[in-house]
């Protein structure tokens, strides 16, 4: 019988400077520092914990990771927040679009200070007028 997976609890990410990365995540998203460990910092909210540890970043090992938002209003507000904070966005001027050609899921992509690629998405966002 296959193992039933639940929501992601946490993941660890190699970063050049855990302090800088923690500030990126807590400054742009609803994450708070929850603890420090040797060589790293963990940031979290009710949905996810990211353990940022000092190491050699390798953005090519993970093409990208996506976080779901509730609706298109939240996605548009997130885009404005990221723009205001100077976050590196993909597709300047046309940031929000389908996750893939013909996909009903809408997203936007950005990069953190270490070059990792992230996505914020709304499932079936193309059909939602909010």
pLDDT-based confidence at residue 125 (cuts at 50, 70, 90): confident
Asked whether residue 5 carries a pLDDT value surpassing 90, the answer given is no
Is 118 in a helix, a strand, or coil? strand
Report yes or no: 20 and 113 within 8 Å, Cβ to Cβ.
yes
**74 & 113 share domain:** yes
Domain containing 19 equals: 7-56
Asked whether the beta carbons of 85 and 25 are under 8 A apart, the reply is no
Q: Please report whether residue 22 resides in a domain.
A: yes
pLDDT at 128: 64
Taking alpha carbons only, the member of 49, 46, 55, 58 closest to residue 25 is 49
Question: 82 and 39 in one domain?
Answer: no
Domain count for the chain: 2
Same domain? For 71 and 121 the reply is: yes
Pair (63, 122) in one structural domain: yes
Q: What is the token pair recorded at 75?
A: 């996605």
For residue 34, what pLDDT is reported?
98
102 with 117, same domain: the answer is yes
pLDDT confidence of residue 27: 97
User: What value does the mean pLDDT take over residues 56-66?
Assistant: 93
Instruction: Examine the domain organization and report whether 110 and 121 are in the same domain.
Output: yes
* 64 pLDDT more than 70: yes
- Tell me the pLDDT band of 94, cut-offs 50, 70 and 90: confident
Is there a domain that residue 1 lies in? no
């Amino acid at each position: 019988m296959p193992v039933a997976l639940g929501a992601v609890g946490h993941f660890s990410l190699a970063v050049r400077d855990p302090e800088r990365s923690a500030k990126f995540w807590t400054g742009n998203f609803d994450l708070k520092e929850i603890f420090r460990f040797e060589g790293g910092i963990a940031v979290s909210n009710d949905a996810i914990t990211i353990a940022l540890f000092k190491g050699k970043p390798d953005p090519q090992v993970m093409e990208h990771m996506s976080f779901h938002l509730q609706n298109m209003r939240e996605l548009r507000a997130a885009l404005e927040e990221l723009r205001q904070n100077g976050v590196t966005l993909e597709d300047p001027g046309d940031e929000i679009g389908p996750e893939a050609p013909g996909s009903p899921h809408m997203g936007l992509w950005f990069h953190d200070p270490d070059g990792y690629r992230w996505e914020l998405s709304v499932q079936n966002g193309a059909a939602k007028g909010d």
